[in-house]
Amino acid sequence: MDGAKKLRRKIRYTILYRFVQFLIFISSRLPRVFWLRFCGILGKIAYMFAAQTRRLTLKHLTMAYGKEKSPTEIRKLSRKVFEMLGKNAGDVLRASGTVKDWSDIEKFLVIHGYENYEAARQKGKGIVFVACHLGAFDLEVTAMAVRGLNPNIIGTPLKDERLNKLLWGYRNKYGAVAIERGRETFRMIKVLKSGGTVALLIDQDTKVKSRFVNFFGMPAATPVGATVLAMKTGATVIPTYIYLGDDWKQHMHLLPELPLALTGDDEADMVYNTQIMTSFIEQQVRKHPAQWVWMHERWKTKPGEEIV
């Protein structure tokens, strides 16, 4: 990267960093619903100007729903995706400046199925939370941490050090442990064998060990980390997701344990179990299609290109 490009990139990230700081500052000084409505408007504005992101969103929605929805319906849904992305991101930003303890979270977030976590915890084998990029997914980590679950969450560092410090500081703030992707395997196994918790998002096409499974009727390279950890440690797998409801509450769901296939054929079991987890994620995305990250290139990797 030449000097001019480095300078432009530095300026761009500086502006973004200051803008995020400003949004966090004002979010805590406005009524939450008013703030979320405002963020929804920002999302609609972004739809008009973010041409490449809009194009990818339309492309992927058409791939997933082309046989079920008309082009007009898909375009309408794509606009809603941007609006809901703004609202959910706004809730995460606001939480970073307003949440101190559980009493702050329960004002706007409802946990469904907490008894499923309790049942899994009593087994003492560690818990793998399988999550996805649906809704305000970072709030799941916040809620888990404030409730004392102390989840370990794996993430890819952001390109800008200041933004990365801001994000990871937020994730670590309440007792969660953010771990850089690529350095996690041994540590995660140790955490689970000691009865701890790990949260992994497995619904993106990333440069990690993956296998192809079906997602919206198409082969999608899918991270197998959650499956491998559960198979190696005997940890209980608990699916989880969150979405913003019509009542302006964030609804976080912890589902019953997901039984894994353990036939002795590790490769076949890895693919089968990853498919089960991915099918669960597809079910939730279909329930709340406007709150998933359709701009992500979920089907980018082609067979033979995956990391094995």
Give tens-digit pLDDT for 21-48. Answer: 888 899 999 999 999 999 999 999 999 9
Share of the chain above pLDDT 90, in %: 73
Supply 271's token pair. Answer: 């693919």
CA 35/CA 232 separation, integer angstroms: 44
For residue range 107-153, what is the model confidence (pLDDT) as tens digits?
Answer: 999 999 999 999 999 998 999 999 999 999 999 999 999 998 888 88
CB 89 within 8 A of CB 101: no
Distance from C-alpha of 235 to C-alpha of 126, rounded to nearest angstrom? 5
Q: How far apart, in whole angstroms, are the C-alpha atoms of residue 260 and residue 19? A: 44
First CA to last CA distance, the chain:
31
CA distances from 289 to 41, 56, 85, 294 (A): 19, 15, 11, 9
Judge whether residue 182 has pLDDT over 70.
Answer: no
Q: What is the pLDDT of residue 130?
A: 97
Global confidence as pTM: 0.92
The pLDDT assigned to 183 comes to 62
- Model confidence pLDDT, tens digit, residues 65-78: 999 999 999 999 99
Q: Which residues pair with 57 in a beta bridge?
A: none
Which sequence spans correspond to the domains of the chain?
3-291
Query: What are the structure tokens assigned to 85, written together?
Result: 């992305």
Among 145, 307, 153, 129, residue whose Cα is nearest residue 230: 129
Which pLDDT value is given to residue 159? Answer: 75
Q: Are strands 127-131 and 152-155 parallel, antiparallel or unpaired?
A: unpaired
How far is the C-alpha of 145 from the C-alpha of 37, rounded, in Å? 27
pLDDT of residue 13: 83
63/60 Cα distance (integer angstroms):
5
Q: Where are the alpha helices (DSSP H) in the chain?
A: 3-27, 32-49, 51-65, 71-98, 102-105, 114-121, 138-146, 161-172, 185-193, 225-233, 266-287
Distance between CA atoms of residues 234 and 254, nearest Å: 19
* Rg value, the chain, Cα: 19
The candidate with the shortest Cα–Cα distance to 291, out of 3, 48, 72, 81, is: 81
Rounded to whole angstroms, the Cα distance separating 257 from 238 reads: 5
One-character DSSP codes across 270-282: HHHHHHHHHHHHH
**106 is written with which tokens?**
């329960």
Quick one: which of 278, 273, 295, 284 has its CA closest to 140? 284
Residues 6+ apart with CB under 8 A from 230: 128, 236, 237, 260, 273
